[in-house]
């Protein structure tokens, strides 16, 4: 129907007759002439409707916002001084010869340039919201990124193999979404939390290099950056070492950033161990743009009078310092604010020392109620290790290690960005490697897998699985970027006896192993190659790239944080007949259900 996209017509088309289709973005009447900004996916074009074509002009007079139009006209230069350099088509306009209304539109619930719309309004009227140029840019970027992944992986010999959506429930990980079976009464499929086991089976079957950009599902309570269904760039390869896998993956990420954003990421990406990341940043996905670092002082405060420090220091906890250069200038109110902030992470308070004079290791040089309860050796170590100078401020975390890391790690990032402790580089990727195999689950009093139970222990660490699980490290690696986890993976276990020992360490006995993972253990016996891989969170990567506030801004039809689609009103009630066919019934009576339903 058209000859060009609106946003593509430019000075090279002057004097040509073009036909455009699009939406009336804005209509202005000026000096007896009607100007229509016609909008399509590629941008805007200015259409001039002159009253000397009365039939066409009459149509133009009735055009309202968001009418769908077909315009045929002659491209001409805009009069000097009326060019719009913000538009690709800003040098030209189309003198309208014919104008057809392809469809009328009622007044939209909001204007496309309206700001500060509530997310509920945006998601309810998602079709209008998706017309906004920012959303169009975001979804185009998402496509560009996905295709950049595909192109790179294709060139490297990876092939996309689809794995099932209707699969088996394995309740170890997050909560499954279940799908009742009609053919097998009382039984259920689960939607996949990831294609993990299937991609490992594909390696055992000899496919060598696999990828898939696929939906995964977790029925968890939603945080800002989570969705019930999310998209994973899922990758697995055989016969490569951990170093070869991470090298290939960072080459891919560099290629994707170059293609999608024309950004050159560092080569190679820096690499630190998980232990070092926790020690220096209190986080396994540190934001390297922030220049602040944590300093270990646990060993220096074991015997101080200040119980808040010596307590954790002598009972397996951690005491760490965060030096803020020039931080003595922070106001009381700011410090109070940060003290409140760290409480989110379980910290009971936020001790600090103002360094008035770094050369005086006493209450004169170091201003803080805690100084009198720290002996001089401790103060000396603190000042020396942090490198504190006069005019600095030192925050402290002292508690169980996890709380200290979470609290000071988060404070580091927040304070760093708020107070400008950041270096210039916009993108700071980082490999975090040598994750622990296991973490202790206090609630259930047992070890659980840090990454997942299919991750290989580091060479030489196999025996630790039985003797000291907490000290056993894994061939697991995460890629962090600016404080976000972009992706993570591991070298997998390819010998069934090692897999069985890991299950054992996790408290999964032989019978349960066979019932739940028998097909994996079998596969590992039939000639499994060494293999490993990674999964990247596509939603999150695009959110970062787009500078969006929420992953919901890079998903066409997202769910709310209450896991609803406001546009189509899903989930919804279904017919009793459907439930009967699926051999299930509702637990609540209908009356109760109305009360607790979404109303």
Kindly tell me the burial class for residue 514, based on how many C-beta atoms sit within 10 Å of its own C-beta (0-12, 13-18, 19 or more): middle
Instruction: Write out the two tokens for 497.
Output: 């006896």
* DSSP assigned state of 450: S
Q: Is 537 annotated as a binding residue?
A: yes
Q: Is 172 annotated as a binding residue?
A: yes
> Of 11, 61, 77, 102, which lies in the binding site for a copy of itself, with binding defined by CB under 8 A?
102
Q: Which of residues 20-49 bind a copy of itself (CB under 8 A)?
A: 21-23, 39-41
Using the contact rule CB under 8 A, the part of the chain among 263-271, 312-320, 431-439, 563-571 near a copy of itself is 563-571
Q: 13-39: string of b/e by CB count within 10 Å (b at 16+)?
A: beeeebbbbbbbbebeeeeeebbbbbb
Count CB-CB contacts under 10 A for residue 424. Answer: 5
How distant, in Å, are the alpha carbons of 181, 254, 438, 586, 598 from that of 577? Answer: 14, 53, 46, 12, 22
The torsion defined by the Cα of 98, 101, 102 and 104, in degrees rounded to 10, comes to 170
Binding mask 486-525 for a copy of itself (x = CB under 8 A): --------xx-----------------------x--xx-x
Closest CA to 525 of 537, 515, 533, 517: 517
> Of 1, 80, 224, 262, which lies in the binding site for a copy of itself, with binding defined by CB under 8 A?
1
> Of 35, 177, 341, 484, which lies in the binding site for a copy of itself, with binding defined by CB under 8 A?
177
Q: Is 219 annotated as a binding residue?
A: yes
Q: Is 364 annotated as a binding residue?
A: no
User: Would you count residue 550 as binding a copy of itself (CB under 8 A)?
Assistant: no
> Of 33, 87, 178, 508, which lies in the binding site for a copy of itself, with binding defined by CB under 8 A?
178
Residue pair 284/274 in contact (Cβ under 8 Å)? The answer is yes
Provide Rg for the chain, Cα atoms.
30
Question: Which residue number, 332 or 589, has a Cβ lying nearer to a copy of itself?
Answer: 589
Q: Which of residues 360-389 bind a copy of itself (CB under 8 A)?
A: none
Question: Which residue number, 195 or 436, has a Cβ lying nearer to a copy of itself?
Answer: 195
Question: Which residue number, 40 or 478, has a Cβ lying nearer to a copy of itself?
Answer: 40
Q: Write down the least CB distance from residue 189 to a copy of itself, Å.
A: 5
Q: Is 227 annotated as a binding residue?
A: yes
Helix/strand/coil for 7: helix
Question: Which residue number, 150 or 271, has a Cβ lying nearer to a copy of itself?
Answer: 150
Q: What residues form DSSP beta bridges with 30?
A: 33
User: Would you count residue 562 as binding a copy of itself (CB under 8 A)?
Assistant: yes
Question: Which residue number, 60 or 202, has a Cβ lying nearer to a copy of itself?
Answer: 202
Write the CB contacts of 93 (distance below 8 Å, at least 6 apart in sequence). 45, 46, 47, 48, 75, 76, 77, 78
Helix axes 401-418, 332-343, angle to 10 degrees: 140
Q: Write down the least CB distance from residue 214 to a copy of itself, Å.
A: 9
Question: Which residue number, 167 or 550, has a Cβ lying nearer to a copy of itself?
Answer: 167
Residue pair 334/352 in contact (Cβ under 8 Å)? The answer is no
User: Would you count residue 121 as binding a copy of itself (CB under 8 A)?
Assistant: no
Closest CA to 549 of 258, 135, 241, 130: 135
Q: Which of residues 191-250 bind a copy of itself (CB under 8 A)?
A: 191, 197-198, 201-202, 204-208, 215, 217, 219, 228-229, 231, 238-241, 244
Q: Write down the least CB distance from residue 78 to a copy of itself, Å.
A: 24
Q: Is 220 annotated as a binding residue?
A: yes
Residue count, binding to a copy of itself (CB under 8 A)? 125
CA atoms within 13 A on the CB side of 410: 16
Q: Is 485 annotated as a binding residue?
A: yes
> Of 10, 259, 356, 564, which lies in the binding site for a copy of itself, with binding defined by CB under 8 A?
564
Binding mask 569-598 for a copy of itself (x = CB under 8 A): xxxxxxx--x-xxxxxxxxx-x--x--xxx
> Of 105, 261, 358, 521, which lies in the binding site for a copy of itself, with binding defined by CB under 8 A?
105
Q: Which of residues 128-157 bind a copy of itself (CB under 8 A)?
A: 128, 130-131, 136, 139-140, 142-143, 146-147, 150, 154
Q: What residues form DSSP beta bridges with 36?
A: 27, 47
Longest dimension (CA), the chain: 94
> Of 190, 265, 342, 382, which lies in the binding site for a copy of itself, with binding defined by CB under 8 A?
190
Residue pair 498/460 in contact (Cβ under 8 Å)? The answer is no
> Of 28, 77, 168, 372, which lies in the binding site for a copy of itself, with binding defined by CB under 8 A?
168
> Of 11, 14, 166, 329, which lies in the binding site for a copy of itself, with binding defined by CB under 8 A?
166
Label each residue of 204-243 as H, E or C: HCCCCEEEEEEEEECCCCCCCCCCCEEEEEEEEEECCCHH
Q: Which of residues 59-78 bind a copy of itself (CB under 8 A)?
A: 66-68, 70
Question: Which residue number, 211 or 396, has a Cβ lying nearer to a copy of itself?
Answer: 211
Cα separation of 53 and 60, whole Å?
11
Q: Is the dihedral of CA 511, 513, 519, 525 positive or negative?
A: negative
Q: Is 29 annotated as a binding residue?
A: no
Question: Which residue number, 101 or 370, has a Cβ lying nearer to a copy of itself?
Answer: 101
**Alpha helices per DSSP H over 167-306:** 196-204, 242-261, 274-281
Q: Which residues contribute to the annotated binding site for ATP?
A: 218-220, 227, 485, 537-540
Which residues fall in the annotated binding site? 172, 218-220, 227, 451, 485, 492, 537-540
């Amino acid at each position: 129907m058209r000859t060009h996209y609106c946003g593509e017509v430019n000075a090279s088309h002057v004097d040509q007759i073009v036909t455009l289709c699009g939406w009336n973005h804005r209509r202005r009447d000026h000096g007896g002439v009607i100007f229509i900004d016609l909008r399509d996916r590629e941008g805007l074009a200015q259409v001039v409707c002159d009253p000397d074509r009365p039939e066409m002009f009459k149509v133009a007079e009735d055009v309202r916002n968001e009418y769908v139009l077909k315009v045929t006209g002659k491209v001409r230069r805009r009069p000097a001084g009326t060019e719009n350099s913000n538009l690709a088509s800003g040098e030209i306009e189309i003198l309208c010869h014919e104008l057809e209304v392809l469809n009328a539109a009622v007044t939209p619930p909001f204007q496309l340039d309206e700001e500060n719309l509530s997310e509920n309004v945006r998601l309810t009227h998602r079709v209008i919201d998706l017309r906004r140029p920012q959303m169009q840019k975001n979804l185009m970027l998402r496509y560009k990124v996905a295709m950049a992944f595909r192109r790179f992986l294709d060139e490297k010999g990876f092939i996309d193999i689809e794995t099932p959506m209707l699969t088996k429930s394995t309740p170890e990980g997050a909560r499954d979404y279940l799908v009742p079976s009609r053919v097998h009464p009382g039984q259920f499929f689960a939607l996949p939390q990831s294609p993990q086991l299937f991609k490992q089976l594909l390696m055992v079957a000899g496919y060598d290099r696999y990828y898939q950009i696929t939906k995964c599902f977790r029925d968890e309570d939603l945080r800002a950056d989570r969705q019930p269904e999310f998209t994973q760039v899922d990758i697995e390869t055989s016969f490569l070492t951990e170093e070869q896998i991470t090298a290939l993956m960072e080459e891919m990420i560099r290629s994707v950033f170059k293609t999608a954003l024309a950004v050159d990421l560092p080569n190679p990406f820096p690499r630190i161990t998980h232990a070092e990341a926790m020690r220096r940043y209190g986080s396994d996905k540190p934001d390297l743009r922030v220049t602040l670092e944590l300093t270990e002082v646990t060993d220096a405060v074991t015997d101080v009078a200040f119980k808040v420090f010596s307590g954790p220091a002598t009972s397996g906890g951690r005491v760490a310092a965060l030096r803020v250069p020039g931080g003595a200038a922070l106001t009381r109110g700011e410090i109070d604010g940060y003290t409140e902030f760290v409480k989110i992470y379980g910290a009971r308070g936020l001790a600090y020392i103002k360094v008035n004079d770094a050369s005086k290791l006493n209450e004169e040089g170091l201003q803080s109620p805690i100084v009198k309860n720290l002996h001089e050796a401790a103060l000396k170590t603190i000042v020396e290790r942090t490198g504190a100078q006069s005019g600095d401020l030192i925050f402290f975390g002292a508690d169980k290690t996890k709380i200290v890391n979470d609290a000071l790690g988060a404070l580091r990032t927040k304070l760093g960005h708020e107070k400008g402790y950041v270096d210039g580089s916009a993108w700071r990727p980082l490999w975090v490697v040598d994750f622990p195999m296991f973490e202790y689950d206090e609630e259930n009093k047992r070890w659980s897998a840090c990454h997942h139970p299919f991750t290989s222990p580091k060479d030489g660490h196999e025996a630790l699985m039985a003797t000291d699980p907490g000290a056993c490290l894994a061939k697991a690696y995460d890629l962090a970027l600016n404080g976000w986890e972009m992706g993570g993976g591991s070298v997998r276990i390819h010998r069934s006896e090692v897999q069985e020992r890991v299950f054992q360490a996790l408290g999964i006995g032989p019978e349960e192993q066979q019932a739940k993972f028998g097909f994996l253990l079998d596969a590992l016996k039939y000639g499994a190659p060494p293999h490993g891989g990674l999964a990247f969170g596509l939603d999150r990567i695009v959110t970062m790239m787009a500078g969006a506030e929420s992953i919901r801004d890079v998903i066409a039809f997202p769910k709310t944080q209450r896991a609803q689609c406001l546009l189509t009103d899903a989930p919804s009630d279904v017919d009793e007949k459907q439930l009967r066919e699926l051999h299930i019934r509702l637990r609540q009576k209908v009356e109760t259900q109305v009360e607790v339903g979404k109303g």
